[in-house]
Amino acid sequence: MPTTQPNILLIYTGGTIGMIKDPNSGALKSFDFNNLLKKIPELKLLDCNIKTVSFENPIDSSNMNPKYWIKMAEIIEANYNEFDGFVVLHGSDTMSYSASALSFMLENLTKPVIFTGSQLPIGDLRTDAKENLITTIQMASQQLNGKPIIREVGLYFEYKLYRGNRTTKINAEHFEAFESLNYPCLAESGVHLKIYKEYLLKPNPRKKLKVHKNFGTNIALIKLFPGISKSVLESVLNTKSLEGVILETYGAGNTTTEKWFLDLIKQTLVRGLPIINVTQCSGGSVMMGQYETSSQLLTLGLISGKDITTEAAIAKLMYLLGENISAKTFKTIFETPLRGEMS
Ligand code: ASP
């Protein structure tokens, strides 16, 4: 029986993987995609058909923004029926933000969209790019009865496939640059590719892909620290255009109980602005009410980010603000896992 190979679309957005050193300054800058492909002749040996598309001007992912998220989502949308899987080459600096954003944008996704990149350029002798790229393509090609096994937005780096919206970049030096502290990895690459099916999202195959492209970007991320200034916080929270706030709190969602602070939070909530309580800890969950230092936050109506990452909380807040959800239901919807981003 003739077997048909999966069709994979490789989307190159930029990042170290395709960079070269500027001969004058010595700084790494984006290079063109064709050069990158030439460096990996092994791609021809994979059991899939690969087509490629590149951003016209590849970027360092520190320049990432929602306009590029929309660009990526539109490439996937336009090619959705023709391809069985998508691999996004992306800088590691903001990869977790983009993977989170795309997970919310691509509702009813039933194909793999896997982000990867590298810590060293593909042309470097010790590069981690080859393994990352080749295995990501293999992960995206995994099928059962002609259907993709992975049907969500993932992030593959250094032998592990994670759920994209559960990841955080934790290291700028090690090849193992990402962690997913609140959710197990979805697959691992050793002698064999092991896929942990019990952890994969199970979308409804009958539902059609719906791509969301609106974001509310007038949000603030406030990380608490001992001695945080009242006047600075006042001016941020009283910003006219402000639409929502992510508050990075201590431990299980605790804050100072000083009156000025709680009054300010209350005034902001009364103005109808959602405030999301996300922990500063890399692992674990917000549990308002566990300590006295979070009981009042619960009473005031702060939204619990539970065990969401800050990256996913930002993407979710921007996405939900773009959906024009009523103030009444905002809290309930935010606290509901939409794409496996919280427990
Ligand atoms: N600065 C680079 C970027 O995020 C780092 C990398 O790709 O690893 O685009």
Q: What are the extents of the domains in the chain?
A: 7-211, 219-334
Distance in Å, CA 308 to ligand 1 centroid: 23
Q: Which residues contact 286 (CB under 8 A, 6 or more apart)?
A: 249, 252, 253, 277, 278, 279, 294, 304, 305, 306, 307
d(CA 162, ligand 1 centre) in Å: 18
Tokens coding 147:
């259907």
Which of the following is catalytic: 4, 13, 16, 257? 16
16 tagged catalytic = yes
Residue 336 binned pLDDT confidence (cut-offs 50, 70, 90):
very high
Instruction: Write down the mean pLDDT value for the chain.
Output: 95
- Mutate which of 93, 95, 173 for ligand 1? The one with the most ligand atoms within 8 Å of its CB, which is 93
Which pLDDT does position 3 carry in this prediction? 58
**How many A from CA of 95 to the centre of ligand 1?**
9
> What confidence score (pLDDT) does residue 2 get?
45
Atom of ligand 1 nearest to the CA of 17: 7
pLDDT band of 76, cuts 50, 70, 90 = very high
Tokens found for residue 153: 């937005």
Which of 20, 57, 62, 176 most suits a substitution to test ligand 1, by most atoms within 8 Å of the C-beta?
Answer: 62
Enumerate residues lining ligand 1, CB below 6 A: 14-16, 60-62, 91-93, 117, 119
The reported pLDDT for the residue numbered 19 is 85
The percent of residues above 70 in pLDDT, for the chain, comes to 98
The set of residues, in sequence order, having a beta carbon less than 8 Å from that of 107 and lying 6+ positions away, is 209, 210, 211, 212
Ligand 1 atom closest to 14 (CA): 9
Q: Can you point out the beta strands (E) in the chain?
A: 7-14, 19-21, 28-30, 49-59, 85-89, 106-107, 113-116, 143-144, 147-148, 153-157, 160-163, 168-169, 178-179, 187-189, 193-195, 210-211, 219-223, 244-249, 275-279, 303-304
Model confidence band, residue 5 (pLDDT cutoffs 50, 70, 90):
very high
Q: Of 91, 123, 106, which Cα lies nearest the Cα of 20?
A: 123
User: How many Cα atoms within 13 Å fall on the side-chain side of residue 111?
Assistant: 22
Q: Do 10 and 50 contact (CB within 8 A), yes or no?
A: yes
Which CATH superfamily hosts domain 7-211? L-asparaginase, N-terminal domain (3.40.50.1170)
Tell me which residue of 224, 233, 288 sits closest to 260, measured CA to CA: 233
267 versus 24: which is more confidently predicted? 267
State which of 16, 20, 31, 88 you would mutate to test the pocket of ligand 1, scoring each by most atoms of that ligand within 8 A of its C-beta.
16
**Same-fold call for 7-211 versus 219-334:** yes
Atom number, ligand 1, closest to the C-alpha of residue 118: 8
Ligand 1 atom closest to the CA of 117, numbered from 1: 7
Q: Supply the pLDDT for residue 23.
A: 84
Candidate CATH numbers 3.40.50.620, 1.10.3430.10, 2.40.110.10, 3.40.50.40; the one for domain 219-334: 3.40.50.40
Q: How many CB atoms lie within 10 A of CB 324?
A: 8
Residues in CB range of 341: below 8 A, 6 or more apart = 100, 103, 163, 165, 166, 308, 309, 312, 316
Read off the pLDDT of residues 104-152 as tens digits, 9 standing for 90 and up.
Answer: 999 999 999 999 999 999 888 999 999 999 999 999 999 999 999 999 9
Does residue 88 register a pLDDT over 80?
yes
